[in-house]
Every structure is written in structure tokens, then in C-alpha cells.
């Protein structure tokens, strides 16, 4: 552990953590297709000027407040635990934890949204299927076409899905977060706001804090050099430290997994994550199919969950009709995209769509990835 120890010693003296067109072809002849095509056309007209029109960031306290976390009994117990489990020296861990700062803005940002506001898919998607991300996506795809093709050949994940994820997450590395990961993870691990799932969330962030120290040791980096989101997600694809260790790929072959500076590693890691969460490379058909539901409401029992569980006959029997025939031999799920006071959109999705929801547990998120990737492809003229 000499390399890790030397980093911690430095801290102690003041030195500074998915191109397959078929994957989105379910959007043909639908409102989503029209929207994607319209957005792509707008993106072409907007050109480079769109990038300069990005909204200003709100004022956020990234620096936080100096506290001595090691005075807290729960922190001392955590230090004992990870020292025993990983073989760290106690002083090494303490040198990091003592320098962590309390980030109140992270606490505020993880609080649940106020109840009562209806979900609105159109409003949500308008944030992501827009000229800034589409133009940036075209540039990113053009610059990394060989890498995206190699990832598609290696993992079976279409380039447009990878492009969609990276665009939704960080606009292709443009906004990867400015919080020190050690600070936000320590704060959320021990001062998570009062919510029904507080204990589970604190346990999660404690695990991620431990993974951050393991990652710093593995990659021989200063743990405080890791910057990320208010929840500790890192780099172009916004992986949590544990996911970097588990799913990160050295796709450029330089011996390290660098999701902050290597587009190759970000591309390979996103593809690998999706495969490890159920992406089926043999399912080359559409990921989602527009659907209509019957007035009988029997289909309501099919809603919910993040996996494909139903055969086409079961969907049909419950009153779910797709505009194109579903391929046999596969399972599907029913997805509802609520639109506030406007009618809800219904879609039938296969396992590949639900693999995207493992990246972010949201139908809105997964559909925005599909639509953005498609819009970028259309803007490229493919």
C-alpha cells in the first residue's frame, strides 16, 4: 500500500473519484419519431451557436463546511470496519476522513421532490432532446466513430444507445460535476436527510466511500482529485466509484480505467454496464413499441417494475395492442409515460429497454436515452 499511503501523506501536508439503427426503429411513424426528427433538424440549423446558449449553472456551494467527521462515533465505527476489511492503516483512512468537508447542498439536492406535482414526460424529454445535446452528440459520434463501432461489435450495444446515455448524463463530458467525491460521499454516508429510506441510503453511500478509497489505491490517484456530481458520480458516464471498479473498462488499452479523460473508456464502460445488466445482443429489433390500451383497464396490473415479464399473448389478453406485431419468443413490459394533464403515452418495451433503466431507475430516463440517440443519428444523416 505504499502508493496509497504516499497519497494520503501528501494530503496530510496539504496536497490537493449505448450504431444499430434497429435498436431505436420502434420510434418510426410515432410522435416520438416526429419529435426526434424535428429536434435533429433544429439541431442542424442551430449549429455551433447552440452550444453557447447553455443555461447558466445555479449558485451551488461546492466547498462546504469544515467539520471533524472523525469525532462522530458512526464514522469511527466505519473506519474500524474498512480498515479490518481492506487492510488499510487506520491513520491512512483518518487522514482522508478528517479532510472531508460537510456539503449541505448535497443534502438538500438528494431530498425528494415535493409531492403533488404530476409527472410530465414531454417536459422532461424537452430537457434532453434539444439542439445543444444533439449537436454535441453529432460531434462526439463523428470524433469517436471507430470506438463506437468497436464497442458495438464487442458488446452488441448500438452506438446510438451509448451516445444517448453519454449525452443525457453529461453532454459528452461537458458537465461531469464539480463536487469533491470524498466530501459528498462522507456527508451523505453519515448525514443523509430524514427520509423513509434513510438507513438504506446511508449504507449505500458508506459503501461508495469505501469504494472511493479502494479506487484511489487501485489507480494510484489522490482520492480528493475525484470530482463528480452531488451524489458522487464520476466522469463522462457518471459511474459511482463502486461501478467504476465493477464495470469500468480499459477500452483504450493504456492500463487504467479513466472515465474522466478517456472517451474510449467511457464508451466501453457504458456498453459493458448494459451487457452486465441484461442487454441482449441477439435482440436486434426495436427496444420499444408504441401501444394502445383498452378501456377495460385490465392492463393496469401489468404496470410497474423494471423488467420484461410478459409474453405477447399476455399483453394482448390484458388489452394492450401494439401497432406492429411483437417478435415471438421474448418477454416484454408495459411502460407508461405520464404527461401531466395531457394523455399518458403507453409503450411496450423489451429487455434491452429495461437494461437502460438499470443505469437510472426511470422510464423517462430510458426513453430519453433512446430518443436522444435516435435524434443524433438522424442529425448525422444516417
Instruction: List residues with catalytic annotation.
Output: 169
Q: Contact at 8 Å (CB) between 130 and 350?
A: no
Q: Contact at 8 Å (CB) between 18 and 161?
A: yes
Q: How far apart are CA 128 and CA 240, in angstroms?
A: 22
Q: Which residues contact 272 (CB under 8 A, 6 or more apart)?
A: 155, 247, 248, 249
Q: How far apart are CA 158 and CA 281, in angstroms?
A: 9
Q: Contact at 8 Å (CB) between 65 and 80?
A: no
Neighbours of 86 (CB within 10 A): 13
Q: Which residues contact 126 (CB under 8 A, 6 or more apart)?
A: none
Quote the cell numbers at residue 155: 458488446
Tally of CA atoms within 13 A in the half-sphere of 87 that contains its CB: 4
Amino acid at each position: 500500500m505504499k502508493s496509497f499511503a504516499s497519497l494520503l501523506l501528501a494530503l496530510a501536508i496539504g496536497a490537493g473519484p449505448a450504431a444499430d439503427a434497429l435498436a431505436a426503429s420502434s420510434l418510426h411513424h410515432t410522435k416520438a419519431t416526429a419529435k426526434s426528427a424535428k429536434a435533429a433538424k433544429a439541431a442542424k440549423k442551430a449549429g455551433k451557436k447552440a452550444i453557447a446558449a447553455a443555461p447558466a449553472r445555479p449558485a451551488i456551494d461546492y466547498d462546504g463546511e469544515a467539520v471533524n467527521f472523525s469525532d462522530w462515533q458512526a464514522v469511527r465505527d466505519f473506519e474500524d470496519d474498512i480498515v479490518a476489511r481492506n487492510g488499510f492503516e487506520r491513520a491512512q483512512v483518518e487522514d482522508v476522513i478528517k479532510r472531508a468537508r460537510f456539503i449541505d447542498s448535497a443534502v438538500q439536492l438528494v431530498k425528494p421532490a415535493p409531492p403533488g406535482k404530476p409527472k410530465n414526460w414531454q417536459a422532461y424529454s424537452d430537457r434532453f432532446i434539444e439542439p445543444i445535446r444533439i449537436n454535441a452528440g453529432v460531434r462526439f459520434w463523428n470524433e469517436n466513430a471507430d470506438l463506437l463501432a468497436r464497442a458495438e461489435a464487442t458488446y452488441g450495444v448500438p452506438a446510438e444507445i451509448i451516445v444517448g446515455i453519454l449525452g443525457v448524463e453529461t453532454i459528452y463530458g461537458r458537465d461531469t460535476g464539480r463536487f469533491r467525491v470524498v466530501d459528498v460521499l462522507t456527508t451523505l454516508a453519515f448525514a443523509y436527510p430524514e427520509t423513509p429510506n434513510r438507513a438504506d441510503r446511508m449504507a449505500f453511500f458508506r459503501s461508495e466511500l469505501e469504494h472511493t478509497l479502494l479506487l484511489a489505491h487501485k489507480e494510484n490517484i489522490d482520492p480528493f482529485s475525484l470530482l463528480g456530481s452531488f451524489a458522487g458520480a464520476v466522469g463522462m458516464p457518471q459511474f459511482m466509484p463502486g461501478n467504476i471498479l465493477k464495470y469500468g473498462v480499459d477500452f483504450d488499452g493504456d492500463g487504467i480505467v479513466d472515465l474522466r479523460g478517456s472517451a474510449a473508456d467511457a464508451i466501453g464502460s457504458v456498453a459493458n454496464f448494459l451487457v452486465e445488466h441484461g442487454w441482449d445482443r441477439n435482440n436486434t429489433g426495436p427496444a420499444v413499441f408504441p401501444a394502445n390500451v383498452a378501456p377495460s383497464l385490465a392492463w393496469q396490473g401489468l404496470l410497474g417494475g423494471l423488467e420484461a415479464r410478459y409474453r405477447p399473448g399476455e399483453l394482448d389478453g390484458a388489452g394492450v395492442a401494439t401497432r406492429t406485431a411483437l417478435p415471438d419468443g421474448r418477454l416484454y413490459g408495459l411502460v407508461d409515460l405520464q404527461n401531466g394533464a395531457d394523455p399518458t403515452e403507453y409503450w411496450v418495451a423489451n429487455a434491452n429497454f429495461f437494461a437502460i433503466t438499470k443505469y437510472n431507475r426511470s422510464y423517462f430516463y430510458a426513453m430519453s436515452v433512446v430518443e436522444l440517440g435516435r435524434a443524433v443519428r438522424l442529425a448525422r444523416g444516417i
